[in-house]
């Protein structure tokens, strides 16, 4: 029977979660697709692309955007699911029936784990192919010529090599009036200019040429070659002017869509799976290492101060082959003073030496700069492939992390619908996106190791998921400002206040005699503590002993018992006075250590012991002031109870 109930719970949770995640997934995917459209809309509009090409591009783009939309949809769906359960007290009913939050989350945890596994295979097998198709289409669309749409009164520059101006257009017959053509396709200084009263523009059947039919115009052309002319070169033979009634000009213009080959993109890091990425990383790393070894051998073989490090000798076997023999180091009785040798040279020789040294340095610098740039390019390729390799795994972990953030957070805030969950999801996802993008740039620019930059967002958000899950299981008030305020008060040793309200129903009435006895006993224990620690503790005594933890614990328990007993009173004045009782805290600064030798060691280490002593004795002084306040409150409460007893006696008489 218990097994059947658990299965029904699992089915209920899945039925609640699955519609929400489907809805949020398509909403998030639509949002990221709109971002993609806004980014590349300028490159798509005005190209005359067919609907099937646009749809194909959007299909592949949607596949590549799934890794970005899936974690956000899981976060939003888990927030809405558990927020709805908490808002309608269904989660409270489950907990009151003995079902823990982890048990409620179990079926969804299994489902998200399966989604994470599927996301890994999707990221490894599907996304590379989709990215290859998407970028191939996008680059092909970028190279396509725009559709001819010549405006009125504006120079049209979309025809390669030609600038076209049209004064007026007939919308019914597509007739053009006031045509002015600037042919800048030649290397002449001045463009060829054609002016016509009217004309029409058509395209050949194969869409590779434009046919411009002109009526009643003039043709102006500069026949001179070169870029400069003197006044004496100007003559009638240098120019051409032609008047015409009808003329046709054929202009090369390819309006067809030509798709690029997928192999160009498939060789990039975006089109590779894990096996191919690792193979490329290993091969390029081997090439970088071999290049480094070659550079190292070349540098070791360079002459030192003009002395070669090796010499060639002809073998003695008569074969005539040469072999390199290392030159043995020359042992000098004393170091060579190059400055004195240089100073003894003639001025012309010194200039020759300097110029030769400068030229050698420049050549070596250019050579090694070129090799360094080559190696930097290879290192950049390695980093980009490593980033893509790590991204195959971060998506799966991000799905789990966002679920363990959204589910407990929804159980804590207990707000369903789309309002609050969307706000929280957007804030959390923006934090994730900023951290992830920062880590990506640090890894790409080689400022951090690749694994640190790519896993940075997961390392930051994983502790948050663990923290929220633990708080939700313990039913802790995560967003309770008073809890955090009290925590920092305890941390800084500040005074904490109590809050008591008059109870509507009281089961155990306050007995004045019992209350007086409890208050008197607590007052006596407080006075004993103040008498024991009347003087300020010395430096060594504080670090070795401090205040008695057992006595402080006893006072803390006793004051809570007194306040709890007095809280059952109908006397508002007594309740108000009971709130003046201080909260006896158990701060570490009251008693640093239980080990005397450790306290002695801290006392010897003045840079550590002295700040501890100053802070600790300040907290001890605050504690003694609070206990003295407790003694005063005990007297005032005793007076209130006694006056109330006298008043009751007078009423009875």
Q: Would you place residue 492 in the very low, low, confident or very high pLDDT band (cuts 50, 70, 90)?
A: low
- Per the CB < 8 A criterion, the answer to whether 506 and 568 are in contact is yes
> Does residue 447 surpass a pLDDT of 70?
yes
pLDDT reported for residue 219: 84
Q: Does residue 160 belong to any structural domain of this protein?
A: yes
Q: Say if CB 541 and CB 620 are below 8 A apart.
A: no
Closest-CA residue to 326 (of 342, 309, 338): 309
Could you give the angle at the alpha carbon of 33 between the alpha carbons of 32 and 37, nearest 5°?
Answer: 120
CA gyration radius, the chain: 43
Q: How confident is the model at residue 39 (pLDDT cuts 50, 70, 90)?
A: confident
Distances (CA, A) of 267 to 279, 583, 643: 12, 69, 93
20 lies in a domain? no
515 pLDDT above the threshold of 60? yes
- Joined tokens for residue 328: 């043995």
Alpha-carbon distances of 153 from 106, 147, 168, 175, 195, rounded to whole Å: 69, 18, 7, 15, 15
- In 3D space, the residue among 576, 546, 559, 554 whose CA is nearest the CA of residue 626 turns out to be 559
Q: With a cut of 50, say whether residue 450 has pLDDT above it.
A: yes
> What was the pLDDT predicted at 114?
94
Average pLDDT, the chain: 80
pLDDT tens track for 463-481: 988 988 888 887 766 655 5
Q: Give long-range contacts, CB 8 A cutoff, 24+ apart: 176-185.
A: 176/150, 176/200, 176/201, 179/214, 179/217, 181/212, 181/249, 185/160, 185/161
pLDDT tens, 172-203?
Answer: 777 888 888 888 776 565 678 888 888 887 77
- The secondary structure of residue 268, as a DSSP letter, is S
Instruction: Transcribe 324-354 into DSSP letters.
Output: EEEPPPPP-SS---HHHHHHHS-HHHHHHHH
Q: List, for residues 208-232, the tens digit of each pLDDT value.
A: 777 788 888 888 876 655 444 444 4
In a domain, 588, yes or no: yes
Averaged pLDDT, 353-371? 81
Element (H, E) at 613: helix 606-652
Q: pLDDT at position 332, please? A: 65
Distance in angstroms (rounded) separating the CA atoms of residues 189 and 225: 8
Whether the model pTM is above 0.85: no
- CA atoms of 292 and 290, how far apart (whole Å): 5
pLDDT at 216 (0 to 100): 85
Please give the backbone phi and psi of residue 199, each rounded to the nearest 5 degrees, phi first: 175, 180
Residue 98 DSSP class: T
At residue 227, the pLDDT reads 43
134: left (phi over 0), alpha (psi -120 to 50) or beta: alpha
| b/e per residue 481-498 (b: at least 16 CB within 10 A) | eeeeebeeeeeebeeeee
Residue 324 pLDDT more than 60? no
DSSP line for 139-208 = HHHHHSPPPP-PPTTSEE--STTEEEEEEEE-TTT--EEEEEEEE--SS-SSPEEEEEEEEEEEE-TTSS
N residues, the chain: 653
- pLDDT top residue among 27 and 231: 27
In a domain, 294, yes or no: no
d(CA 156, CA 126): 43
Cβ(212)–Cβ(249) under 8 Å?
Answer: yes
% residues pLDDT > 90 (the chain): 13
Looking at residue 70, what is its pLDDT?
A: 92
Name which of 269-273, 349-353, 499-503 the model is least confident about. 499-503
Do the Cβ atoms of 506 and 571 come closer than 8 Å?
A: no
Domain assignment present for 408: no
Residue 390's nearest CA partner among 454, 316, 439, 458 is 454
**Winning range, highest mean pLDDT, from 198-212, 241-255, 604-618:** 604-618
* Coil vs helix vs strand at 326: strand
Q: Indicate whether 611 belongs to any domain.
A: yes
Residue 404: name the closest of 111, 78, 87 by CA: 78
Q: Is residue 123 a part of any domain in this protein?
A: no
Q: How many domains does the chain have?
A: 2
> What sign for the dihedral angle of Cα 442, 443, 444, 446?
positive
pLDDT for 1: 40
Is 422 domain-assigned?
no
Confidence band (pLDDT; 50, 70, 90) for 526? very high
Retrieve residue 352's tokens.
Answer: 């020759």
Closest CA to 563 of 519, 520, 607: 519
Domain that holds residue 217: 155-225+237-252
End-to-end Cα spacing for the chain: 67
Asked whether the beta carbons of 410 and 78 are under 8 A apart, the reply is: yes
């Amino acid at each position: 029977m218990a097994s059947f109930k658990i299965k029904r719970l699992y089915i209920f949770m899945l039925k609640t979660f699955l519609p929400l995640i489907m809805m949020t997934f398509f909403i998030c995917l639509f949002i990221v697709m709109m971002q993609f459209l806004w980014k590349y809309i300028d490159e798509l509009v005005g190209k005359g692309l067919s609907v099937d090409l646009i749809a194909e591009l959007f299909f592949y783009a949607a596949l590549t955007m799934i890794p970005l939309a899936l974690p956000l949809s899981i976060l939003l769906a888990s927030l809405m699911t558990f927020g709805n359960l908490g808002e309608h007290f269904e989660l409270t009913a489950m907990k009151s029936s003995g079902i823990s939050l982890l048990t409620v989350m179990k079926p969804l945890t299994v489902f998200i784990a399966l989604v994470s596994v599927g996301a890994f295979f999707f990221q490894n097998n599907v996304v590379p192919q989709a990215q290859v198709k998407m970028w191939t289409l996008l680059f092909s669309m970028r190279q396509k010529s725009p559709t001819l749409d010549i405006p009125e009164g504006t120079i049209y520059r979309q025809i390669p090599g030609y600038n076209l101006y049209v004064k007026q257009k007939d919308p019914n017959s597509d007739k053009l009036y006031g045509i002015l053509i600037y042919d800048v396709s030649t290397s002449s200084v001045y463009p060829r200019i054609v002016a016509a009263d009217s004309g029409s523009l058509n395209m050949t059947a194969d869409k590779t040429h434009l046919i411009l039919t002109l009526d009643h115009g003039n043709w102006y052309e500069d026949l001179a070659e070169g870029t400069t002319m003197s006044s004496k070169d100007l003559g009638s033979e240098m120019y051409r002017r032609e008047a015409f009634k009808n003329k046709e000009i054929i202009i090369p213009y390819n309006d067809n869509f030509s798709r690029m080959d997928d192999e160009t993109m498939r060789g990039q890091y975006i089109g590779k799976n894990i096996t191919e990425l690792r193979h490329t990383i290993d091969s390029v790393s081997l090439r970088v290492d071999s290049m480094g070894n070659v550079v190292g051998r070349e540098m070791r073989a360079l002459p030192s101060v003009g002395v070669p490090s090796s010499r060639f000798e002809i073998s003695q076997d008569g074969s005539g082959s040469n072999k390199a023999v290392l030159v043995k180091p020359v042992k000098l009785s004393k170091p060579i003073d190059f400055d004195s040798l240089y100073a003894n040279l003639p001025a012309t020789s010194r200039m020759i030496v300097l110029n030769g040294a400068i030229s050698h340095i420049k050549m070596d610098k250019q050579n090694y700069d070129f090799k360094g740039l080559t190696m930097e390019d290879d290192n950049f390729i390695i980093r980009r492939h490593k980033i893509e390799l790590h991204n195959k795994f971060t998506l799966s972990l991000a799905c789990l992390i966002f679920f363990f953030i959204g589910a407990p957070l929804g159980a804590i805030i207990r707000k369903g619908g789309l309002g609050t969950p969307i706000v929280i999801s957007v804030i959390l996802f923006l934090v994730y996106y900023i951290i992830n993008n920062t880590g990506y740039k640090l890894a790409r620019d080689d400022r951090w190791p690749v694994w640190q930059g790519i896993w940075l967002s997961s390392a930051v958000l994983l502790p948050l998921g663990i923290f929220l899950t633990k708080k939700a299981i313990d039913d802790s008030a995560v967003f309770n400002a008073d809890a955090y305020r009290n925590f920092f008060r305890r941390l800084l040793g500040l005074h904490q206040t109590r809050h008591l309200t008059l109870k509507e129903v009281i089961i155990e009435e306050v007995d004045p005699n019992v209350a007086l006895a409890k208050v008197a006993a607590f007052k006596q224990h407080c006075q004993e503590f103040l008498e024991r620690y009347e003087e300020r503790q010395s430096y060594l005594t504080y670090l070795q002993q401090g205040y008695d933890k057992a006595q402080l614990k006893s006072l803390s328990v006793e004051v809570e018992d007194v306040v709890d007993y007095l809280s059952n009173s109908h006397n508002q004045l007594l309740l108000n006075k009971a709130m003046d009782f201080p909260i006896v805290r158990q701060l570490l600064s009251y008693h640093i250590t239980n080990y005397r030798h450790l306290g002695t060691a801290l006392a010897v280490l003045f840079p550590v012991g002295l700040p501890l002593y100053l802070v600790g004795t300040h907290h001890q002084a605050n504690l003694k002031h609070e206990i003295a306040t407790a003694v005063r409150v005990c007297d005032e409460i005793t007076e209130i109870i006694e006056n109330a007893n006298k008043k009751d006696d007078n009423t009875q008489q």
